[in-house]
Structure 1
Amino acid sequence: MTVGEAIRAAAARLAGVSDTARLDAELLLAHAVGTTRSGMLLSCLRDPAPAGWDRLVEQRTRHVPVAYIVGRQEFWGLDLAVAPGVLIPRADSETIVRAALAARPDARRVLDLGTGSGALLAALLSELPGATGIGVEASPAAADVAANNLAQLGLPGEVVLRDWNRPGWRADLGRFDLVVSNPPYVEDDAALAPEVRDHEPSAALFAGADGLDAYRVLIPQTAALLEPDGVAAFEIGHTQAAAVTNLAEEAGFAAALHHDLAGRPRCLVLARAVVR
């Protein structure tokens, strides 16, 4: 069987599992070949299919996310390592990066709350020459992945183990020009795809009955983390703009809403409200 034939067989096998069966098949076969997807499609389709490709497809039939199978995920054009226990970066979260850069293109200190794989921090530091950053993460496994991603990319960031639900977690962090966060914001009883529900870390997803628990903890503390002209950018669920805006205003912020490429509410940028 050739690589091209293996891709077609894998896509057919995954058709009932994934809405992106062909793409999944191509990514898995490229990983098995040991090259990029584009490189495989350009030059490897007539080569013999590599041993073990079918075992990768078998994992995907059990709803294991492709990123966990191949151990990589692209975000903001960066190649990031991911692993079980670490939230997989989504393209929608690039909205935070765009909004944060637009709000503070001159930022020199960046803080990423709940950094996970380090995706947001890495993306921002890659666009802010001379800036340094800190990622806060409660999971030791995720903190290790984030630190390794920053090191592999040669970016000037560090990751610290902290739990924002515990007193004193921000005491020695200082102040920042830019704070970003993609906190957990899924309602506890939300219906999720098996790939997410059964494989991604629940602590990075769920945030109480209404999905707002993390915002209730973080937003009132954000002012103490910001320089006077600093801004914060929070990812939100597409139904949460009004509720999170209310929390921000109660904490003394003005909130500006940003939409993702599909037109859904995705990010709130917070700045200290001007007192008149």
Structure 2
Amino acid sequence: MKIVCVGAGSMAESMIHGWINKRIMKPEEISVMNRSDQDRLEFLHDEYGVNIVCAEKTELRDADFILLAMKPKDVEVALKGIREKLTGDTVIVSVAAGVSIETIQKHVGDFAVARAMPNTSAQIGKSATGVAWSKFVTKEQQHLLRKLLSSIGGVTVVEEDQLHAVTGIAGSGPAYLYYFAESMVQAGIDNGLSSADAKKLVRQTFDGAAEMLQQEDFGELRKRVTSPNGTTAAGLQALYDNDFKRIVGDCVTSAATRSRELGKEFE
């Protein structure tokens, strides 16, 4: 299997790292290209052993998958730059937020196109990835794509319109959790802990809670740790009083709305 990554930013690197680390692909089976940042390509080559696409872009003709891993505003230019090199057996997989399968096919024709929304936890094989595909993606190609994405974490197949919600939860979600962790650390410092101790405690708390979430119902876990009139109840009451659920809902909805907006901008 061969993959060409068109775009060489953090998401592409996270996926490359995951594929190689999980031994789903060999470095020599992966090629990378971008518009102008040669230093970035050299870094990925030196760090992971992947190939840099040559000037003639012949690697595109042999690719089983072409990963579009750039900002939404750059998708059109990228597709124009590779269109003449594509072959009918190639699957185009886009991780550009909001850009629809229909928009991509306007530029490349009736190719097999899929959209995936992973997150940067792909780097450690823990991505939460949503994927949708066009009618031109065969059953065999669907199987290979799911295998490829499963190597970097969990995969959920959804309808394309649902990818906006996937973006709001999984694609952007790690940033929300990191911000929550930062806030907990600061609260710990404000209540007398050293920065080092607060970070250690927050990391272990998140790690343990994440493991528990894999095993039991979320609400039941919350109830079990919340004793009436206890410390946890007092802390949760502050969240209730400040309408924490609405804040989280607004957060996810805002990201999903922006995903829809991006799609309309490039239709």
Pair in the same fold by TM > 0.5: no
Whichever of the two has the greater Rg, that structure is 2
TM score, norm. by length of structure 1: 0.35
Which structure has the highest helix share of the two? 2
Which structure has the highest strand share of the two? 1
TM score, norm. by length of structure 2: 0.36
